[in-house]
Amino acid sequence: MAGSQETLLAQLDTLISEGRNPATMHIDEGTSLDIVRMINREDHHVAPAIEKILPEIAEAVDRIVDGLSRKGRLFYIGAGTSGRLGILDAVECRPTFSVDDTLVNGIIAGGERAIMHAVEGAEDDEVQGQKDLDAHTITRNDVVVGLSASGRTPYVCGALRRASDHGCTTIGIACTPESPVLTLSDIALCPVVGPEALTGSTRMKSGTAQKLILNMLSTASMIRLGKTYQNLMVDVNASNEKLRARAIRIVIQATGCEISIAKQALSEAGQKTKVAIVMVLCNVDATIASEMLQNSNGFLRQATKE
């Protein structure tokens, strides 16, 4: 045990995310305003770090689109904050883009309990990472994204190894260059955001960087798959009053029609926003609008050019 702890301590000493930030050494002496200013200054490093790896993020999007186009699925897998961020992005895809619950999946070390509570030792279990991925019967068309601020999480490394064994595309997101999560992945996404304002608290800059990258991966992929028209969420799942109002507004924004026409079109379209937009733009009924969308593989812009 002592030997393994010494090894881990040596590893932590090499991780950028675990380093001490010289700009915040006196953060504990500051006023509330001083503290939030220091944190804000550090946050300004995040977007530029992501900008440096945009070509790699775009490559990851291309691979995700290719996999999903071949009936594959997207998996995010991580531990702690990283795992929770993956779950957050996964569960938002259904209401935003009306995709099936099984298309984008979030897996966290320790299972559902770990979403709300820390599960001791869960991130250290490489075999469990493999088992949790196996439970989804992955195929070569699936894409597996491993999330780890440090880039060394055994649970995530195990999952990535298993994904590679099955021929899946693997994408690693970590804030430490040349870390195992990155070297085990087909595509390595490494925004180097520097040490945290609070040493080792990777829910801060590292977490923000991971969240921004996940936003890009899912949103850009869904745009490429025809889930939007212009910059409108035309595949939104209107499952509550706010979203039903948003659907009406989207039809109006896409077509320039009156509220009454948007409401009528949505009613006749079974509340399917895309169908309603084609109905209004092309002056056709719901049946023909649906056929036009089917012929264009769901791409609204193409459907309206027929």
Q: Which contiguous run of DSSP H or E holds residue 147? A: strand 143-147
Residue 268 is a catalytic residue: no
The candidate with the shortest Cα–Cα distance to 155, out of 189, 181, 126, 192, is 126
Q: Which of 18, 92, 268, 291 is flagged as catalytic?
A: 92
Beta bridge partners of 145: 76, 171
Catalytic residue among 123, 126, 196, 258: 123
**CB proximity list for 283: less than 8 A, separation 6 or greater:** none
Among left, alpha and beta (phi > 0; psi -120 to 50; other), residue 285 is beta
> Which parts of 15-144 fold into alpha helices (H)?
32-43, 46-51, 54-69, 80-97, 113-116, 126-134
Instruction: Identify the helix (H) or strand (E) that includes residue 7.
Output: helix 2-14
Question: What is the spatial distance between Cα 134 and Cα 136, in angstroms, rounded to a whole number?
Answer: 5
**Integer Cα distance of 89 and 141 in angstroms:** 20
Q: What is the distance between the alpha carbons of residues 80 and 256, in angstroms, rounded to a whole number?
A: 45
- Helix/strand/coil (H, E, C) string of 258-281? CHHHHHHHHHHCCCCHHHHHHHHH
51 catalytic? Reply is: no
Q: What is the DSSP letter of 18?
A: G
Catalytic residue numbers, as ranges: 92, 123
